[in-house]
Amino acid sequence: MTILVTGGAGFIGSNFVLDWLAQSDEPVVNLDKLTYAGNRENLADLEGDPRHRFVQGDIGDTALVQRLLAQHRPRAVLNFAAESHVDRSIHGPEDFIQTNVVGTFRLLQAVRAYWSELPDSDKTAFRFLHVSTDEVYGSLGPTDPAFTEAHRYEPNSPYSASKAASDHLVRAWHHTYGLPTLTTNCSNNYGPYHFPEKLIPLTIVNALAGQPLPVYGDGQQVRDWLYVRDHCAAIRRVLQAGQPGHTYNIGGLSERTNLDVVRQICALLDELAPAPQRRVAHARTGQSITNYAELITFVADRPGHDRRYAMDIRKIQRELGWQPAETFDSGLRKTVQWYLDHPQWVQRVQSGAYREWIARHYG
C-alpha cells in the first residue's frame, strides 16, 4: 500500500507527510515542483527513510505522473500542490491558473486513466483527495452564518478563483467519470514550516528582526485559524472514511481579527523572547523597543480584500468524528516557540539559502 502526495514539500503538505509517517508505515511518494515555497529541508527528518520517496516534478507533467502511478500503484492521491498566496496572485495571476487549474486538470486526467485500469476491488477502494480553501466561498458579513459545504462559490481574488475552478473540476470528474474524489476546504492554517509571507510567520519573523509588522487597512478582517497538524489529522480522517463525491469543511473554531492575531503574537514574544533582553531595535529608527507591539504598522489595504471567513464544521464533526485538538491560544504558542527554536530554518528561507542547502544535500 502506498499513497501519492503532491505538493508535499510545501507548508501543509510537508506537515502532512511528516505526520503520516510518524503514525503509519505506509510509504509516501512525494511529488513537488519545489517552487519558492516548496522546501525539501522541511523533510530533512525523513532523509534515508525508505518509506519516503521524493520526486521533484510538476503535477502538470502528465508523463511523469503517469510513470509514478504505474510504478508505485498508489491506493490514493492527495493533491496539496497549489499556488496559494493572494498577494502574489494579484500581481501575477498566470502562475495560479497554470498550477491550480491546468495542473489540477492534467493530474485528474492522469489519475482517471490509472484508476480506470485498476482491478474492481482496488478501483472501489481508491481515493483522490483534493485540498482546497475557504476562500472559494467569498466573504461574509459580521453576523452572517459560517460557510457550510452548500454555500455557493463567490471567489474574489485570482487565487480563490483558481482554487474554485480546481474544485469544480474535481467535482465534475466525480460526477461525469465516477472518479472517487474527496474535497476538503480549510480555513487559514498556521504552524511549523510556514513560509514567512503569510500573516503569522511574517509577524513573528519581522518582530524578532525589529521590522515593521504590516497590518492591512484597519486590521479588522476576520479569519478562522486552524493549526496545521489539526488539519492533517482531519485529512487523514477524510481519506479514511469520507464519502466519495463529498466536500468537508475543516476549521479551527477560532475566529480572530488580523489585528488581534498580531497583538497576540507580540504578547507571546514579549513573554518568550523579550525585546530588551534580545536588544531588538526598530529597523527604521534604530531605537530600542520595549515591546513588540511598537512595531505594528498599518498599511494600505490590498485590492478586493475579503472581510471575514468562518467555517461551519458540523458535517465533519457529525459524520467523521473529527474536531480540532488545539485552541488558537495553544496552537499559536506552539507556533511561536517553533520559530524561536528554528532560527536557522528562518534565515535560510529568507535568504534563499535553502535552495543551496538542497543542492548540497541532494545534488
Angle among Cα 331, 236, 186 to the nearest 5 degrees reads: 55
Residue 40 inside a domain? The answer is yes
Residue 69 inside a domain? The answer is yes
Residue 161 inside a domain? The answer is yes
Residue with cell 507591539: 293
Express each pLDDT in 234-286 by its tens digit: 999 999 999 999 999 999 999 999 999 999 999 999 999 999 999 999 998 99
pLDDT for 87 beyond 90: no
Express each pLDDT in 285-344 by its tens digit: 999 999 999 999 999 998 889 999 999 999 999 999 999 999 999 999 999 999 999 999
pLDDT for 90 beyond 60: yes
Residue 358 inside a domain? The answer is yes
Residues noted as catalytic? 134-135, 159
- The secondary structure of the chain in percent helix, strand, coil, rounded to multiples of 5, reads 50, 15, 35
pLDDT for 161 beyond 90: yes
Question: Whole-prediction pTM value?
Answer: 0.94
* Predicted local distance difference test score (pLDDT) of residue 85: 83
Give the residue among 207, 204, 188 at the shortest CA–CA distance from 196. Answer: 204
Residue 302 inside a domain? The answer is no
Angle among Cα 258, 263, 264 to the nearest 5 degrees reads: 95
Residue 156 inside a domain? The answer is yes
Residue 294 inside a domain? The answer is no
Beta-ladder partners of 56: 32
Band (183; pLDDT cuts 50, 70, 90):
very high
3-state DSSP call for residue 168? Answer: helix
Residue 287 inside a domain? The answer is no
Which domain covers residue 10, as residue numbers?
Answer: 3-190+227-253+309-325+350-362
Q: In what order do the strands lie in the sheet with 188-190?
A: 188-190, 222-227, 255-257
Indicate which CATH number applies to the domain containing 55.
Answer: 3.40.50.720
Tell me how many helices (H) and strands (E) the chain has.
15, 12
- State how many domains the chain has: 1
Give CA–CA dist 84/117, Å, rounded. Answer: 33
* Predicted local distance difference test score (pLDDT) of residue 156: 95
For residue 203, what are the contacts with CB-CB under 8 A and spacing of at least 6? 213, 261, 262, 265, 266
* Predicted local distance difference test score (pLDDT) of residue 37: 82
pLDDT for 359 beyond 60: no
Q: Where are the alpha helices (DSSP H) in the chain?
A: 11-23, 62-72, 86-91, 93-96, 104-116, 120-125, 158-177, 199-208, 228-241, 258-272, 275-278, 314-320, 328-341, 343-351, 353-362
Angle between helices 258-272 and 328-341 (to 10 degrees): 50
Residue 63: count of CB within 10 angstroms of its CB: 9
Mean pLDDT across the chain, nearest whole number?
A: 95
Residue 24: count of CB within 10 angstroms of its CB: 13
For residue 344, what are the contacts with CB-CB under 8 A and spacing of at least 6? none
Which carries the bigger pLDDT value, residue 355 or residue 33? 33
